[in-house]
Amino acid sequence: MSAPRLAVTPLRLALGGGVLAAGLALGAALYARGGHGNSGTCATAAATAARVAPLARGEVAALQVDPAPQPAPALAFTGPDGKPRSLDDLKGRTVLLNLWATWCAPCKAEMPALDRLQAALGSSDFEVVALNVDTRNLDKPLTWMKENRIERLAYYSDSAGGVLPVLQKSGAVVGLPTTLLIDRAGCEIGVMKGPAEWASEDALKLVRAALGAG
């Protein structure tokens, strides 16, 4: 005797389609965030984002603040000492991660301001991490920094070219320069797509807010 067949009604089809659509929507949302679907480690970062958002104005008005911050993408690069580093190594301090290259004119134009920001607020609690993404003529970035008196920024590099693809996949990068504001827990508070005047009073107020200072 054959097993009874389950009747397929319009309601059952609608319910099944709804579950499938919800599943696809969830998957798309997680993919759009680069696979960072678990925001548990970033629960307290929402308060930081709330402090920062009203200050994304003037010279830093283009900063896109995420009201529900997610963990920053896993990035590996080379530190100032020439040894492998990652964003995880920088946890414990707020980081302004700036991607730049010597072939990017707007990148070079904003580097002096980033250098002044590091001079003004750099500490054990905050660092401007200017990450160079040149993959050719690897002596050129350091030479350019010295010639232009960029003296406060440590030299971080990604000569292997692994960082840009990761950030492009997550949607954080569409071009250079791109700057990510990351809190001390490694959560991405906001992203700036394009250059900014990072030594301006607007930028100083915004970074101080990210640090929890008045």
Q: What is the pLDDT of residues 131-151, one digit of tens each?
A: 999 999 999 999 999 999 999
Q: Tens of pLDDT along 72-120?
A: 999 999 999 999 999 999 999 999 999 999 999 999 999 999 999 999 9
Q: What is the pLDDT of residue 214?
A: 62
* Cα–Cα–Cα angle for 19, 25, 28, rounded to 5 degrees: 140
Q: Please, how many CA atoms are within 13 Å of residue 75, restricted to the half-sphere of its CB?
A: 33
The first and second tokens of residue 106, run together, are 């707007």
Token representation of residue 133: 């993404």
Angle value at C-alpha 193, between 190 and 195, nearest 5 degrees: 110
Q: Using 50, 70 and 90 to split pLDDT, how confident is the model at 32?
A: very low
Give the tens place of pLDDT for each residue, 151-207.
999 999 999 999 999 998 888 888 999 999 999 999 999 999 999 999 999 999 999
The reported pLDDT for the residue numbered 174 is: 80
Measured from the Cβ of residue 200, the count of other Cβ atoms closer than 10 Å reads: 16
What is the rounded distance in angstroms from the CA atom of residue 102 to the CA atom of residue 120?
A: 24
pLDDT of amino acid 15: 37
pLDDT of residue 126: 98
Residue 14 has pLDDT above 90, yes or no: no
Closest CA to 129 of 177, 166, 70: 177
Q: Which of 133, 148, 147, 76 is nearest to 102 (CA)?
A: 133
End-to-end CA distance of the chain: 78
139: which DSSP letter?
A: T
